[in-house]
């Protein structure tokens, strides 16, 4: 048995029955990382020594009869989630030496379950990108095709899970940054409802859009991870004080009577790869064969989503990233003696081209005389998009669509064409604008052997319905069982 290939639920069962130890499991994962990381480049910081100590503590807890679904399970963490005493860079030079003095809310939740943290995972700088090529440190490669992008911005998290370098991972999703890389790497990626998971300790990109979400090998593991990190947090004013359901309990329910909405705007859109369209339509046929019924729905403001998002997100980024000025923490240009010159030097050296581009866009949109014309109008479009989803969910329980318009692109393909990269979020970012949950599950492969993902969207706090639907599809297919030929 190769322990690094286990799912979270499989490893939990073996740990609970004392067939394996967490130390054995963690060592197997460490060995796997050392074997394939030079090809994939998913990790920015490895914490193997700490991981083995955590594994030893987990084994002691298990011996004492204290075990939870994540006790002793090796996980990876996207490098914009604050980890006490462990470097957190956000994939940026401006934070390359930043060591947080506290844990994010989700980290406290994982530690409470005695999870094992294998390291911090690569990402597009400050989560701004869809290919993982905008990291300041390295480019992560897709395990299914090393010359291809793993997607972004949580590309390191998706690639690490796909390559069996951790049993699960946390990422963040601002416009599709969990679901799109999950689709490209053939894993399960969930964006929870906005407010379901605390953002405390998540380094902000766009505060009204950001949400932490799990990446995993199976839907069952996704439910386990969300169960662990969800919940109300008084330190986050946007955290919703709703109770957290037992997500695993809904997985076995059948789909009879489930209504699946098919938005015509998502299937008639320009740029949708025929192979993606075919795989997603076959997936919908599979769901119909499991008892679900399909209905056509309309999301008429979809065509304005990309434009609205790329005003709102950069505007919020411009505000959030203003704090990186070289004064309190982070990189400082020590060659400059004048304050204004030091600000300029620190930010010019610290931020990469994509982050600078979005700061400039956002600052322009928020500037005097332009706020109403840009940010104000985009906010109105956001309201209309949210209303579209509300009306659609009166006719259906779940919306099915592609997670990304194409399979993973070749590395370097969109570096000189940022607009093409922005358009790759066309199917995912509307959910962020509306605050609703979405999940991507593997549903096929391209002729080059690259994964394709089916995206399922639900109403606010309808994660149970998404898990039920995704689980039944997963059980009826074999896509989740395939592994990249590393």
Residue 22: active-site member: no
Cβ pair 456, 464 in contact under 8 A: no
Helix 274-289 to helix 463-476 angle (10° resolution) is 100
Q: Tell me which H or E stretch contains 401.
A: strand 398-402
Question: What 3-state DSSP class applies to 84?
Answer: coil
Name, in order, each residue with C-beta under 8 angstroms of 49's C-beta and a sequence gap of 6 or more. none
Rounded to the nearest 5°, which phi and psi values hold at 77?
Answer: -125, 130
Name, in order, each residue with C-beta under 8 angstroms of 193's C-beta and a sequence gap of 6 or more. 211, 240, 435, 436, 437, 460, 461, 462, 463
Indicate which residue of 78, 109, 191, 217 is catalytic: 78
d(CA 137, CA 176): 22
- Which residue is listed with tokens 């400082």? 332
d(CA 227, CA 284): 27
Indicate which residue of 22, 157, 177, 183 is catalytic: 177
d(CA 23, CA 56): 6
Q: Tell me which H or E stretch contains 370.
A: none
Q: Tell me which H or E stretch contains 294.
A: strand 293-297
d(CA 158, CA 290): 28
Tokens representing 105? 């809310």
End-to-end CA separation in angstroms for the chain: 18
Cβ pair 140, 169 in contact under 8 A: no
Indicate which residue of 9, 22, 149, 153 is catalytic: 153
d(CA 229, CA 246): 13
Name, in order, each residue with C-beta under 8 angstroms of 426's C-beta and a sequence gap of 6 or more. 269, 271, 302, 305, 306, 405
Cβ pair 96, 89 in contact under 8 A: yes
Residue 153: active-site member: yes
Bridge partners of residue 168, in order along the sequence: 75, 216
Residue 177: active-site member: yes
Strands 293-297, 212-216: parallel, antiparallel or unpaired by DSSP? unpaired
> Which of 374, 402, 399 has the alpha carbon at shortest distance from 459?
399
Which are the catalytic amino acids?
A: 78, 153, 177
């Amino acid at each position: 048995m190769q322990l690094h290939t286990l799912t979270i639920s499989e490893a939990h069962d073996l740990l609970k029955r004392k067939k394996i130890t967490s130390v054995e499991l963690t060592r197997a994962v460490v060995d796997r990382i050392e074997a394939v990381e030079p090809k994939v480049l998913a990790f920015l910081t490895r914490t193997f020594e700490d991981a083995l100590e955590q594994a030893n503590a987990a084994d002691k807890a298990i011996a004492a009869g204290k075990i939870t679904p994540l006790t002793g399970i090796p996980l990876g963490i996207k490098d914009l989630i604050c980890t006490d005493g462990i470097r957190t860079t956000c994939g940026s030079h401006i934070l390359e030496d930043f060591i947080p003095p506290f844990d994010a809310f989700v980290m406290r939740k994982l530690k409470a379950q005695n999870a094992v943290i294998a390291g911090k995972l690569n990402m597009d700088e400050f989560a701004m990108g869809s290919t993982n090529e905008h990291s300041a440190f390295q480019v992560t490669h897709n395990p299914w095709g090393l010359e291809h992008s793993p997607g972004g911005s949580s590309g390191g998290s998706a690639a690490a899970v796909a390559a069996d370098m951790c049993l699960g991972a946390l990422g963040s999703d601002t416009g599709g940054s969990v679901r799109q890389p999950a689709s490209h790497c053939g894993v399960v990626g969930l964006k929870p409802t906005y407010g379901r998971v605390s953002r405390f300790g998540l380094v902000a990109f766009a505060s009204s859009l950001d949400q932490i979400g799990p990446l995993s090998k199976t839907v069952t593991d996704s439910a386990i991870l969300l169960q662990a990190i969800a919940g109300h947090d008084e330190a986050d004013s946007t955290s919703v004080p709703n109770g957290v359901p037992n997500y695993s309990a809904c997985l076995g329910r059948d789909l009879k009577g489930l209504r699946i909405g098919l938005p015509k705007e998502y299937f008639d859109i320009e740029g949708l790869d025929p192979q993606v369209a075919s795989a997603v339509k076959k997936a919908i046929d599979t769901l119909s064969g499991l008892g679900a019924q399909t209905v056509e729905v309309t999301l008429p403001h979809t065509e304005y989503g990309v434009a609205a998002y790329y005003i709102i997100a950069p505007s919020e980024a411009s505000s959030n990233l203003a704090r990186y000025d070289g004064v309190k923490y982070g990189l400082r240009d020590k060659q400059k003696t004048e304050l204004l010159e030091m600000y300029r030097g620190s930010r010019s050296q610290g931020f990469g081209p994509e982050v600078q581009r979005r700061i400039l866009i956002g600052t322009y949109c928020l500037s005097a005389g332009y706020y109403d014309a840009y940010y104000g109008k985009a906010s109105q479009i956001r309201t209309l998009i949210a209303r579209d989803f509300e009306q659609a969910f009166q006719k259906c329980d779940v919306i099915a669509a592609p997670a990304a318009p194409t399979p993973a692109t070749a590395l370097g393909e969109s570096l000189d064409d940022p607009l093409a990269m922005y358009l790759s979020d066309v199917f995912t970012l509307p959910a962020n604008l509306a605050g609703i949950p979405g999940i991507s599950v593997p549903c096929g492969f391209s002729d080059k052997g690259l994964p394709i993902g089916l995206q399922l969207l639900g109403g606010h706090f309808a994660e149970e319905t998404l898990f039920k639907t995704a689980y039944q599809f997963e059980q009826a297919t074999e896509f989740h069982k395939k592994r990249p030929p590393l």
